[in-house]
Amino acid sequence: MTRPQKDSTPDQAEITDDSAIPDVDGESGVDSETTTGSDHEPAETDPGSDTEEGSSTSGLGGTIRDRVESQLNEKDSTTSVFANKDLVHPDTIIDANRIVGRDEQLDRIIELLLPAVKGGRQDNILQFGPSGTGKSLIINATAEEVATLCENRGVDFGVIRINCQRISSEDKAVYAMLQDVSEKTGAEVGIKKQGTATSDKYDRLYEIVNERFEAILFILDEIDYLTGNSNDDEPDYSRLLYQLSRATAEGDIEGRSAVAALTNDTQLIQKLDGRTASSFNPDTVSYTH
């Protein structure tokens, strides 16, 4: 396996906290606030709609959980979706009327993530389109619901998410992912942020993943910002995608792994190194205003 060169000056990495679905202020067709649990506020309905909180909407036909459960039931009609239905309440998830006009993208993301529930292989995903079209909200909301279904079925499914907008290098991105999985699992980061080779950061990341999860999804938001040194032949996002997409094949991750990359750059796939494009080989989901 090709290992990245040592980066002797990694800086502070910034991580997006995904303990809740991220705020997407200003996004067209998406509410700027999404809350969960007991703090959930009634969602605004479309003009002329008489739907009540927690009800299905004409635009999407129910909550994201409704759609995930519907697809899963279609594929596995003989198996109960929830081990304990008392754990599932509509007011703990995003109502469908928070996402307007994204039926096709939402159903496609659900279809691509569902194999994790039944122990199948997930494909890599590339979501692209302008800012404000709901890319982040849909992938994060769906991943949360899939994680809940996996937990109820006894599948250890993890989601590691970072936002690359203020992360300029592969080294910083790997450490950001290491911090994220450490916070979610309670495992010690175990290595220093500075003065540690990037390859050692990958090794520690994979070690925690192998200890805690049967399947893992890496969500890399705003990945086009991860350019690295402009003098390099290959942008850092290309190197990162290569390493993560090869992790299971190379034996670094013992379970199943997949990568979901989000970008505003519709030409990103053409900018990848040839070996990265071949290894990543994502299913693409496009968004337009």
Please list the pLDDT of the chain residue by residue as tens digits (289 residues). 445 544 544 444 444 444 343 443 434 444 444 434 444 444 444 433 333 333 333 345 678 888 888 887 776 554 433 343 333 333 334 444 556 678 899 999 999 999 999 889 999 999 999 998 899 999 999 999 999 999 999 999 999 999 999 898 999 999 999 999 999 999 999 999 999 999 999 999 999 999 999 999 999 999 999 998 877 789 999 999 999 999 999 999 999 999 999 999 999 999 999 999 999 999 999 998 7
Q: What is the pLDDT of residue 100?
A: 64
Tell me what pLDDT residue 31 has: 44
Strand ranges inside the chain, DSSP E: 125-128, 157-163, 215-221, 256-263, 283-286
In whole angstroms, give the CA distance from residue 24 to residue 132.
8
- Say which CATH topology domain 107-286 has: Rossmann fold (3.40.50)
Helix (H) or strand (E) run with residue 174 in it? helix 170-185
The pLDDT of residue 61: 61
Per-residue pLDDT, 126: 98
| Per-residue CA distances from 165 to 15, 162, 222, 261 (Å) | 10, 9, 6, 13
Distances 204 to 16, 169, 177, 192, 245 between C-alpha atoms, Å: 20, 18, 10, 11, 17
Nearest Cα to 137, choosing from 208, 221, 67?
221
Nearest to 47 by CA among 124, 116, 125, 100: 100
Model pLDDT, residue 45: 40
The partner residues of 163 in beta bridges, in order of sequence, read 221
CB 2 within 8 A of CB 163: no
- What the block records as the tokens of 59 is 């635009």
Is pTM beyond 0.75 here? no
Write down the domain spans for the chain: 107-286
**pLDDT number for residue 98:** 59
* Residue 99 DSSP class: B
